[in-house]
Structures are given as C-alpha cells and as structure tokens.
Amino acid sequence: MSIDIQMPALSPTMEEGTLSKWLVKVGDTISSGDILAEIETDKATMEVESIDEGVVGKILIEEGAQNVKVGEVILQLLEDGETEADLGTPAASSAPEASSQSEDGSDNPGTTGIRHPENDDADTDKTSGMPQVKVANDPDIPTNIKMVETTVRDALRDAMAEEMRRDEKVFVMGEEVAQYQGAYKVTRELLQEFGDKRVVDTPITEHGFAGIGVGAAMGGLRPIVEFMTWNFAMQAIDHIINSAAKTLYMSGGQMRCPIVFRGPNGAASRVGAQHSHDYSSWYANVPGLKVVAPYDSADAKGLLKAAIRDPNPVVFLEHELMYGNTFDVPDMDDFLIPIGKAKVRREGADVTIVAHSRMVGFSLEAAERLAQDGIDAEVIDLRTIRPLDTETVLKSVRKTNRIVCAEEGWGQSGIGAEISAVVTSQAFDYLDAPPARVHQKDVPLPYAANLEALSLPNADDVYEAAKKVCYK
Amino acid sequence: MATKKASAKKQLKTSKSELLQLYRDMLLIRRFEEKAGQLYGMGLIAGFCHLYIGQEAVVVGMRAAMKDGDQMITGYRDHGHMLACGMEARGVMAELTGREGGYSRGKGGSMHMFSTDKKFYGGHGIVGAQVPLGAGLGFANKYLENGAVSTAYFGDGAANQGQVYETFNMAELWDLPVVFVIENNQYAMGTSVARASAQTELYKRGISFGIEGHQIDGMDVLAVKEAGATALKHARDGNGPMILEMKTYRYRGHSMSDPAKYRTRDEVNEVRHDRDPLDAVKARLEKEGWADTDSLKAMDKEIKAIVADSAEFAQTSPEPDPSELWTDVLLPVEA
C-alpha cells in the first residue's frame, strides 16, 4: 500500500496554502530528508521534506495550485517493490481538529479563541480558581512560656540556625553571608557554626547564583538564597519565576523546588530610588510562589522556619528598617507560624486596616490615635501575601463595613488594589464606604530627606484614610 | 590548562555492539523528530517545536560516556536529550500533542519535560537559564557527595548570555562537577555565530575563568563520546568544570515556522551528504562488517515501529482532564 503525503501546516493556524513548486517527479527515488516541494502562505515559503523512503508514484496536486487544504494528499510514494498498481485511493483529508474548529474562533490574537467543547461538561469552577487549602492556626503558646526580647534580625538568624541544625540539606548562599557575617548581619555566626560548605559566599552575580540555587533545589537540597536587597533580585527574577515558580506545573508535578529567596525589601533610609522598591505585588502576582512579609520578630522566626520547610519556592520579604526592632519571641522548641494566615493584631468594630511588613506598625499607631477620636479600628497583619488570607479580611469587613489598605509600595496594581477588588466583589453589600488605599506616591523614591518623607506612607496617612472612610 | 581545537580526523576505537547501539540511539532520535515534524505539519503538535535532526551525535555520544546518576539539563531543543536519557518515546510524543500520557501530563509541551527517574532535568525555554540550573545540580552533587556529574547543554546563541559567564565563574571557583556542552549548530535562530559573537571559537570562552575547553567534531559520535568521557572524569575527580564545544549542524529550521532563508540549501545539503552523523556510523558499520543493508533495514523498521507506536499513543491518549488545570501549582505542606 502506497504512502500518502499530505499538505503540511507551517503553523498551528495555517489552514491552506499554495503548492508553488515540485522538486520531484514521478519515478524519482526519494530518501528520508529529501525536499519534495515548496509551499507558500502569505507569511512564508517552506520546503516539504520527506520522512519516508520510496519512489514517487503519483503527484496529485499540480504545481502552482492555490488554496490547497492542510491535510490533503499531495503525493503518493511507492514503497519497496510496489508498482503503480499498488497506488491506493488517497485518504480523505485528515485535517486535524485544531483547524476544523476555526469556525468557532481561531487562536489569532483578538478573536475569542478556539472553542473546546470537551471542557463543557467539566464541573471545574472557572471563577473561583485554586481549591482552597485549609491553613492551620498559629500554635498555642502556653501561658507559662518565657518570652524573650529579640530583634527581627536575630529572630531570622535563629530561624535559619535552627533549621540548619534540623536538616543537613539546608544551606544559605548569597553575597557577604559568610565571612562578612551578612551585609545586615542576619547571617551572623552561621559560618562559625556550620562552616563554609553550608554558608556560602557568592560573587556579586544574582542572576547566576539564583539559578545555581534553584538547580541545587532541583538536585535535592534546600537552599536559602539571600539577596543583599530585593532590588538586586531583579537581576535574578527570571530564575525566581520561570525556573522556580513554574517548574512544578510545567513538569506535571514531578520537579520539586524547595527554596527560600530572602532579603530586605522596600525602602531603607535615604538610599534613593534603586535601593528602595517594595516588590510585594510583583511576586504576589505569580502562581507557584508563596510570598511572605512578616512584621515582628515572632512572625519573622516562625514564618521563616515554615518557609524553609515548605516544599515550594518561597519569596520572603524582610524590611531593613525593622531589623533592629525588638519584639517578644516565645522561647519554644520548633515555633512555626503557618504560611497563608493573616493575624488580627488589634480587634476593633468601626474600620478594618489591612497592612503587611513595616506598615503594620504605622497602622497600629494610627489605630491608637483613632481610638482617641472614638474610632475603634481593627488592624489585620497579612503576614502572607500569597496565598492571600481573604477570609480573615472579609470576616473583618463584614463586621466593620469599612476598609483601609496600607502598603509601602506603589498603588497601581498593588496589594491594596487586589484587596479592594476582593472586598468589593465579595462583600459589596457590607461596605458603607469605598475602600481606601494608602501607598507610596507614584514617583521613584527621592533622596532628599523632605521629599522622601513626602513620598512614603506613614501613620498619618493611615489615620487620615481611616477617618475618611468613617466620614469623620 | 589546555584549550584545544578539534583535532584532525582519526578513526577511533569501538566495538560492534557499541557502534550498533550508538547508531540505534541516533536513529531513534532522527526518526522520532521526523515524525514530530510530520505531526506538526498535520496540526497535531502546536506552538513551538524545535527539532534536533542533524545534532544526534552530540547527545548520544555524551550519554554513552555518562554514568547512571549523572544528570542532563538542556534548553528548548530537548527531544533528543530525553530519548537519549532513556525516556519513553510515547511519553515524549504525547507531551508534544498535549495529552494526559505526556511526561508533564500535557502541561509542559515540547520545551518542558522532566524525568527525575531518568535524571533529566528539563527542558527550559529561557535561553541560557539551564546553565546555572545545571551548575546547581552539580552544586548539589558536590554537597551530597554522590559522585554524580551534571551535564548542561546549550547552544551557540545561549553562549552569549551573561548568566553563562556568572556560572562559569562560580563553577570553577567552587570546582563544581559539571560539564558544559555547547552545541554549536552555527545559527542562533537566524543569526550565524559570526554575526553574533566577537569570539567565534566558543571552546575558548572559559579561558578567563581557567576552565579547560575543547572543540569537538559534534558530527562524530565516537569523538563526542571520547571527549565526554575525559570531561566527565575531570569533573568527577574534583577538578571542576570543562567546556566542550560540539561543532554540529541542524538540518531543519530553528522551529517549525522558520523558512531558514538565512542559509543556502546547498549549505544544508553539503553537511547532510558529507558530514551526516548517522551516515558516518553506517559506513563504518558496513566497512567493519558489523552490519549490512538487510540488518540496518531491519533496525530501521524496528525504530520506525517504536516511533509509529508513540505517534499513535500521542493521538489516542486523552487530553488532560479539565480538573488538571488546578493541580501541580503548589505542593501541600506536610504536617
């Protein structure tokens, strides 16, 4: 039985083309790889290669023929020992489903896209997204437990040290993490305890060492990659997103990447625009990542420990201006805070203030002042930006009917924009005022002290916004 | 440190069983890729599809030199690497058609397949990204003291990426067990090496880091294997990375929709007729009396049957269940 050679498609969208030239004639012996013909569309000319061997038995489409449908038989090839008598009836066009579906739309940009009727019966809820995973509550802290005053810096350090003691596969790499003891001293004394195999100084090559970290995670280790600041991680963002976040999905669940990327995020003091960027909303946008931004020492410790044990890539956003602040940390073995749970830091009935990282402090300060004005504010510390604990926020808004979203980053497409959208779509009927947002002014952060102060959000801004949504 | 250009052609030692196996492995890739090209032409494979035809000797020769446990990682032209690692033709082809039976259950496509079992770590779509990732696998090997070497493959185009040099620096600084295999097929999409590279001899790209480099005839599977064995031993013995520049050639366009107007048909034909990696092995097999027309035909038939079966499977395997949309985004946290 002869071999039918069909009109090929040059691209998934091609439906027909011109057979511009035959390069073989009946009787020619063909080897695999030989060029049979040239075909042409409005976009390109391409050569049709044979993947079969044999003798040209019959040419069915004339040179120069236009509008030849993809899948139509254009040539029949005789195999070893066959003669013209063996020429079969050419099979009917076997143009695949993809092109035949084009009547329902094509995959050209701007059209509705190919319809997939096979999905019609799916009971998947297309709007609600990922099945919600129940996140455990914070651990119960026994009343007799000793509280230890600890800086955020030392809490982060302790978290790494404890996890490195617990699991040999945990190591930390980054610029100045070892001999220098950390640019911000977060890795202080880790080198002394764990040695240079597990506390690795890197050259100043974020793109490269982030990639090596991700590769090491794929190879079975549990890296903690420190960026001296998240500003420099823009050099490495390809590996954080394309290599770390997407690979589990792209591999159908095979390739794991347990890695923590951590470092200071957001504004420092008087360091100018390139060193003062809050990336919360950038990373929060990406499925496949977890994004954590703690406020106090206990959360910094408990969440970093959880991040190191997490089987997924975690972006851990610290704040340089918080490193030296002191808070209580419970003196407990294995103090873990589950990722994905917000914390109500102050209960209140009149207005909800949602914040994360350093803005939590400003929000608590604003709440005290609001209390003097007779406004009882509830302050929610998001702690985790992805997955976002919308349940806690919605529950609060249904009680207070008002919300202020405070963040240090810019407003457009920010965390506050996201929370406002969630609240207006899921608790619209409960709102007595439009959601308010507090954020950095829409300019690169200036250096001059007075302009810097004007640009960054503070407790006054939160206070004013809360008054506004309370119509006071 | 030695940095050497490809040496003059000499006949390398081999055996009947070895050469037949190498030929078979290359033939499987060639027939598989031809079939993939055909299925693409039929609209059964969509999106990007980068074929490896012409470059078969590189990955087959390297794999023959590798030990079990050694890892492989590459860019988007990855079908040949997967087959060389021993991944099933069925699973690869079904991934190309976006079906449930594919290695990534239809969620990765041509450029994104993995097999932790066969030590194949992708399949990466961002040019050059596999180089630090591959060095990271080497980092893990050294840390875990498992004796394995990682092999990272990239093209002449990726060889100009900054992250490659960041990686060369760290790999040599830390003596990572990794072999960098530059598959110089002479065109980065449509741009020839000469038009894109100030230094066109890519094996020299490690000189400033102190990394030994060799240029190899990548169309000669035995030469590749020999060089691969040397580089793997060098890395395994704790001497750090080595660079192997494989001079090779891709017969097809960069991807399926590339009309390849940046080179002449004569240029392609010349390589095809004078330097084809399969033809060279075939000639040696016949010369040594290790195979004849009939036995080679029988092998071709057997390979074609494997490929036909994979194509059949790739069309009959169902599309992923719609519920798969939401799976594999995050792993559950163990209590």
Q: Is the dihedral of CA B243, B249, B254, B260 positive or negative?
A: positive
Is residue B82 less than 8 Å (CB to CB) from chain A? no
**Which range is least confidently modeled, A10-24, B23-37, B130-144?**
A10-24
**Looking at CA atoms only, how far is residue B4 from chain A in angstroms?**
27
Residue B3: inside a domain: no
Q: How far apart are CA A211 and CA A214, in angstroms?
A: 5
Residue B316: inside a domain: no
**Looking at CA atoms only, how far is residue B199 from chain A in angstroms?**
22
Pairwise pLDDT comparison (A110 vs A349), residue with the higher score: A349
Is the pLDDT confidence value at A389 over 80? yes
Residue to substitute from B33, B143, B161, interface A, most A β-carbons within 10 A = B143
Tell if the CB–CB gap between B34 and A32 is shorter than 8 Å.
yes
Tell if the CB–CB gap between A252 and B71 is shorter than 8 Å.
no
| Contacting residues of A for B99, CB less than 8 Å apart | none
Question: Which candidate from B136, B253, B322 shows the least CB-CB separation from A213?
Answer: B136
Tens digits of residue pLDDT in A269-314 = 899 999 999 999 999 999 999 999 999 999 999 999 999 999 999 9
Note the pLDDT of residue A11. 74
Three state DSSP letters for chain A:
CCEEEECCCCCCCCCEEEEEEECCCCCCEECCCCEEEEEECCCCEEEEECCCCEEEEEECCCCCEEEEECCCEEEEEECCCCCHHHCCCCCCCCCCHHHHHHHHCCCCCCCCCCCCHHHCCCCCCCCCCCCCCCCCCCCCCCCCCCEEEEEHHHHHHHHHHHHHHHCCCEEEEECCCCCCCCCCCCCCCHHHHHCCCCEEECCCCHHHHHHHHHHHHHCCCEEEEECCCCCHHHHHHHHHHHHHHCHHHHCCCCCCCCCEEEEECCCCCCCCHHHCCCCHHHHHCCCCCEEECCCCHHHHHHHHHHHHHCCCCEEEEECHHHCCCEEEEECCCCCCCCCCCCEEEECCCCEEEEECCCHHHHHHHHHHHHHHCCCCEEEEECCEEECCCHHHHHHHHHHHCCEEEEEEEECCCCHHHHHHHHHHHHCHHHCCCCCEEEEECCCCCCCCHHHHHHHCCCHHHHHHHHHHHCCC
Is residue B122 less than 8 Å (CB to CB) from chain A? yes
Is the pLDDT confidence value at A128 over 80? no
| Contacting residues of B for A216, CB less than 8 Å apart | 136-137, 139-140, 143
Tens digits of residue pLDDT in B64-82 = 999 999 999 999 999 999 9
Note the pLDDT of residue A444. 96
Note the pLDDT of residue A397. 98
Is residue B190 less than 8 Å (CB to CB) from chain A? no
Note the pLDDT of residue B2. 64
Pairwise pLDDT comparison (A88 vs B331), residue with the higher score: B331
Is the pLDDT confidence value at A108 over 60? no
| Contacting residues of A for B106, CB less than 8 Å apart | 252
User: What count of CB pairs under 8 Å joins A to B?
Assistant: 226
pLDDT band at A100 (very low <50, low <70, confident <90, very high): very low
**Which range is least confidently modeled, A53-67, A161-175, A326-340, A445-459?**
A53-67
Residue B49: inside a domain: yes
CA closest to B70 among chain A residues: A219
Residue B97: inside a domain: yes
Tens digits of residue pLDDT in A394-444 = 999 999 999 999 999 999 999 999 999 999 999 999 999 999 999 999 999
Domain A149-330 annotated CATH 3.40.50.300: no
CB-count exposure of residue B10 (10 Å: 0-12, 13-18, 19+): exposed
Note the pLDDT of residue A193. 98
Identified catalytic residue from A72, A162, A163, A206: A206
Note the pLDDT of residue A105. 42
The overall average pLDDT reported for chain B is 95
Structural domain count of chain B: 1
Fold classification of A3-101 is OB fold (Dihydrolipoamide Acetyltransferase, E2P) (2.40.50)
**Looking at CA atoms only, how far is residue B45 from chain A in angstroms?**
8
Tell if the CB–CB gap between A8 and B169 is shorter than 8 Å.
no
b (16+ CB within 10 A) / e for A333-370 = eebbbbbbbbbebbebebbbbbbbbbbbbbbbbbbebb
Q: Once rounded to an integer, what is the mean pLDDT over residues B309-335?
A: 94
**Looking at CA atoms only, how far is residue B282 from chain A in angstroms?**
15
Note the pLDDT of residue A468. 98
Pairwise pLDDT comparison (A122 vs B218), residue with the higher score: B218
Note the pLDDT of residue A202. 98
CA closest to A69 among chain B residues: B42
Note the pLDDT of residue B180. 98
The CATH architecture that domain A343-469 belongs to is 3-Layer(aba) Sandwich (3.40)
Print the domain residue range for B32: 13-311
Note the pLDDT of residue A127. 47
Is the pLDDT confidence value at A103 over 70? no
Q: Where in chain A is the domain with CATH 3.40.50.920?
A: 343-469
CB-count exposure of residue A117 (10 Å: 0-12, 13-18, 19+): exposed
In CATH, what number is assigned to the domain containing residue B174?
Answer: 3.40.50.970
Is the pLDDT confidence value at A101 over 50? no
Note the pLDDT of residue A115. 72
Is the pLDDT confidence value at A111 over 80? no
Q: Where in chain A is the domain with CATH 3.40.50.970?
A: 149-330
Chain B residues 243-262 with a CB less than 8 Å from chain A:
251-253, 256-257, 259
The answer to whether residue A207 is catalytic is no
The overall average pLDDT reported for chain A is 91
Q: How far apart are CA A41 and CA B77, in angstroms?
A: 26
Q: Where in chain A is the domain with CATH 2.40.50.100?
A: 3-101
Residue B317: inside a domain: no
The answer to whether residue A356 is catalytic is no
Q: How far apart are CA A233 and CA A99, in angstroms?
A: 43
